[in-house]
Amino acid sequence: HAKHILIIGGGDGAMLREVTRHKNVETITMVEIDAGVVSFCRQYLPNHNAGSYDDPRFTLVIDDGVNFVNQTHQTFDVIISDCTDPIGPGESLFTSAFYEGCKRCLNPGGIFVAQNGVCFLQQDEALDSHRKLSHYFSDVGFYQAAIPTYYGGIMTFAWATNNDALRHLSSEIIQARFHAAGLKCRYYNPAIHAAAFALPQYLHDALSAQ
């Protein structure tokens, strides 16, 4: 089970809120480039973080994400890139330098996850991520989730690992882990988990053509 989690970005605290729900997690490190985002969201978006900034397992680091993953001596079981789109300050979190740094500080068997926009509108983003991530990880894929507040609605997320067994987890194992964790979610359940990895044919075709 994952015990040490790294969140890159995520200053609004929503990703942190969800990670703190997992009681087996021992440490949560969040690297945010802008301290002002964190202070603003703590004050004005309390429902997003739901008090998770005060979780004793949480550590906030104000730094550039690329710099952190290439310099830190810490290692992590899960790295989540909760970043903006690949323009402006968020562009560096879609580069080979960032992905290489993430591999560097990811524990053996760990997994990296990153948002990749709405594939119907931003297909090149997913293709570019797949091409770059494949240089550092033996297994790279995508899943999708409904994000109604984001233009286009169905967001795509890249995942990458050097643990090829993760792709083959059975539905029985996923269901058992979900019940053992005692999670009560508004959206996620084991059936949603399985469905998330069913990708549209146009994405399969585009990936095959690379």
For the segment 103-128, what is each residue's pLDDT rounded down to a tens digit?
Answer: 999 999 999 999 998 988 889 999 99
pLDDT at 89: 79
Q: How confident is the model at residue 191 (pLDDT cuts 50, 70, 90)?
A: very high
Q: Which two tokens stand for residue 94?
A: 């879609």
* Res. 75 pLDDT band, cuts 50 70 90: very high
User: Could you tell me which residue, 87 or 166, shows the higher pLDDT?
Assistant: 166
Q: What is the pLDDT of residue 150?
A: 79
- Residue 87 — very low, low, confident or very high, per pLDDT cuts 50/70/90? confident
Residue 210 has pLDDT above 90, yes or no: no
pLDDT for the residue 151:
80
Q: What pLDDT score was predicted for residue 119?
A: 86
- Residue/partner pairs of 33-38 with CB below 8 Å, 24 or more apart: 33/9, 33/62, 33/63, 33/64, 33/65, 33/89, 34/62, 34/89, 35/62, 37/11, 37/12, 38/11, 38/13
- The reported pTM is 0.94
Rounded average pLDDT over 35-56: 93
- Is 164 designated active site? no
Q: Which of 12, 82, 128, 139 is catalytic?
A: 82
Name the residue with higher pLDDT: 72 or 88.
Answer: 72
Does the pLDDT of residue 21 top 90, yes or no?
yes
The percent of residues above 70 in pLDDT, for the chain, comes to 100
158 within 8 A of 132, measured Cβ to Cβ: no
Question: Could you give the domains of the chain?
Answer: 4-208 (3.40.50.150)
